[in-house]
Amino acid sequence: MNTYIRAAALAVLKTYAQDHGLPLRPIMARYRLAPEVLDSADREIPFLSAIAILEECAREWQIPDLGVQLGKKQSFDAIGVVALVVRMERTVRDAVQAVLRNLFLHTNAVIVELRELPGGKYAELSMDVRSEGTGARQYREMSLCGVKNDLIAIAGRNPVFVKARVPHGPSKGREILSRELNCPVEYHARSCAVVFEADILDLAIPQSDIAFHPIIKRYLVEATQEKQRDFTEVVRLEIFRQMSSGEVSQDKVADAMRLQKRTLQRRLKEAGTSFRELLDGERKRKALTLVQQTRLSMFEVAMALGYSDQTAFNQAFKRWYGRNPLAIRREDDRRTA
């Protein structure tokens, strides 16, 4: 399965490199890309290449907080045509939910969910990334800082962040991300998220010219139909979404897709695969990320992936990667020390 992201997401990187006289072309060339592709906002580029380019730029330019710097400058338009859905919604809550429903048109490698916390005072936006072991620190920090700009663009005022969580450590011991978000940041957390005061979600959005609504709706329908032609990929994305938010099962995936379980099984069989095979593939991708990029215990990793015990997870991981997960974590720790 190929993960993608629209070039609009990295347009800010090209601008930053030009403004500061930094060499971007040789870094992108390693991934068979050129800076000019970032001028085509709707062009799909490999997601793993995109996040690797961000990591290499941060390292070679010696800017450990590059993701934060880019996120501060990134506009709401970075999510491309998905941003148009805001023009059809009545409240910030509706707009955010509409953006998240259509985010797969921008990238199939990121799941973002809005959850309003008990008591109603706070809400949380959580993000899960299909990084498959590739470093995603800069992308995550860029995205968290981008959330601030996105909410400002939608609501017309600053959100009040209460706390944030990221699975990696602080940038060389400095609280750069915390200063930008103006809230405490929990590092080495199990997930990536930001908690904010929920009252912003109730704000009304000025309605745009309704003459544009049919055009936007038609475009979204056509774009969605194009993406959903690959039935297997639609199932993979739903498995990924459910794994990010909790327990995943064949019954739940069928329900989410409004299909009978037997219909789901039949269509996957016609596509030459099965639910078990797709679930195994998503677990494999997420396992490497959790092992290399978090400090969760192996038992916690096993539970996060839906295994009944750590032994079953260890066996699966060794089947996937030829080594046990703890050995890979220790090797990764030595390499990054």
Domain boundaries, the chain: 64-202, 231-336
Q: Which two tokens stand for residue 157?
A: 């005022």
Contacts 24+ apart (CB under 8 A), 169-173: 171/64, 171/65, 172/64
pLDDT, mean of residues 299-321 = 88
For tokens 């330019």, the residue is 61
What is the CB neighbour count within 10 angstroms for residue 195? 19
pTM, full prediction? 0.81
What φ, ψ does residue 119 adopt, rounded to 5°? 100, -25
pLDDT tens, residue by residue, 44-86: 999 999 999 999 999 999 999 999 999 999 988 888 778 878 8
pLDDT tens, residue by residue, 226-275: 666 788 888 888 888 888 777 888 999 999 888 899 998 999 999 899 99
Sign of CA dihedral 285, 289, 291, 297: negative
The answer as to CATH 1.10.10.60 being correct for domain 231-336 is: yes
Res. 222: pLDDT tops 70 = no
Q: CA dist 194 to 114, 145, 162, 164, 331, Å?
A: 10, 10, 8, 4, 30
Per the CB < 8 A criterion, the answer to whether 148 and 177 are in contact is: no
